[in-house]
Structure 1
């Protein structure tokens, strides 16, 4: 493997441009390392690297399977959302078992489980009844989490939000102290709000008439 062709850092756009015009036999051995550059889509070379990787769909599949097994939800999200989103059914079917595993695993922050269900359903690799059953199970688990939040905690969360808005509207310099003083409660607030977001998202998906499980 010739590592001289690999980007040296996240700003190395010239290396990505060179990779785009190289012979396939040169690029294919580099794919595991090239995939690392889409771990964060905010990196300057990430988008261009994605374009390079899209030329090697079949060749990336074994490496994607490894990534999916590593529990790196942000990296997995980028692959689901940007790399394989427009792949054809034949290619997606090669990843169906991996996508099913992702679909069954709760991902409270990156929603890779919900994305996996969408992809499987879009390509007719999962029936609507099975997709709905998976989503309903997630909904029940989220409900348990929401029900564990006390009324007193919800009052605290509302007060924290009012305080945050007041600081931002008066003297934003106080926001760091606000975060430090309320670190524990803010973490609980974030978890609660994310559960609410997930609950609403899944409810929409279950609504097959107007939701995202509609193939029409």
Structure 2
């Protein structure tokens, strides 16, 4: 099995891969960062509950990957990513402050509708 494959869950119940990613840690999971962030699209997924706290501990090095999600149009993913990963890391909050401020104070209509602006504001208030 390819090393990257073993740390990227194959479905929302693949806790073995999620735990392998946590155990491998940063920078070992760096090549898989974009794909691992996909598994925090819904905070209710079992793999998200394992991955989100671990990804938050990465801090600033994760910011470029998170920034790509925040620049996209998947508001549900933004909401869960900010709430479960970004808001749990002062380093990420600092590194992503311009993006968080834009979402919090100048949200798009869809960001407002999905309450992404609220979770961004809460992260900034920490």
Note the C-alpha offset of 1:54: 2.1
Q: Residues 115, 7 of structure 1: CA spacing in aligned structure 2 closer, same or farther, 3 A cutoff?
A: closer
- Correspondence for 1:112 among 116, 122, 126: 116
Q: Which has the larger radius of gyration?
A: 1
Tell me the SS of whatever aligns to 2:117.
helix
Preserved contact between residue 43 and residue 84 of structure 2 (Cα < 8 Å):
no
1:30-49 to structure 2, matched below 5 A, reads 30-49=32-51
Contact 1:39–1:74 under 8 Å retained in 2: yes
Which secondary structure state, in structure 2, belongs to the residue aligned with residue 20 of structure 1? Answer: helix
Q: After TM superposition, where is structure 1 displaced by more than 4 Å over at least 4 residues in a row?
A: none
Which runs of 5 or more structure 1 residues have no equivalent in the other structure? Answer: 124-216
Could you say what secondary structure the match of 2:87 adopts? coil
For residues 110 and 23 of structure 1, do their structure 2 counterparts lie closer, same or farther at Cα, with a shift above 3 Å needed? Answer: closer
CA distance in 2, matches of 1:27, 1:53: 10
Matching of residue 24 in structure 1 with residue 43 in structure 2: no
- Structure-1 separation of matches of 2:117 and 2:16: 35
Q: 5 Å matches for 1:5-84? A: 5=6, 6-84=8-86
- CA spacing shift, 1:45–1:25, aligned 2, 3 Å: same
- In structure 2, relative to structure 1, the CA distance for the partners of 1:76 and 1:19 (3 Å cut) is same
Q: Distance between the aligned counterparts of 2:92 and 2:60, measured in 1? A: 7
Q: 1:39 Cα shift?
A: 0.5
| TM-score calculated relative to the size of structure 1 | 0.51
Question: What RMSD over aligned residues (CA atoms) do the two structures have, in Å?
Answer: 2.0
CA offsets, 1:67-123, max 9 Å, x none?
Answer: 0010211111112211122322x5422211111221201334321112223333x25
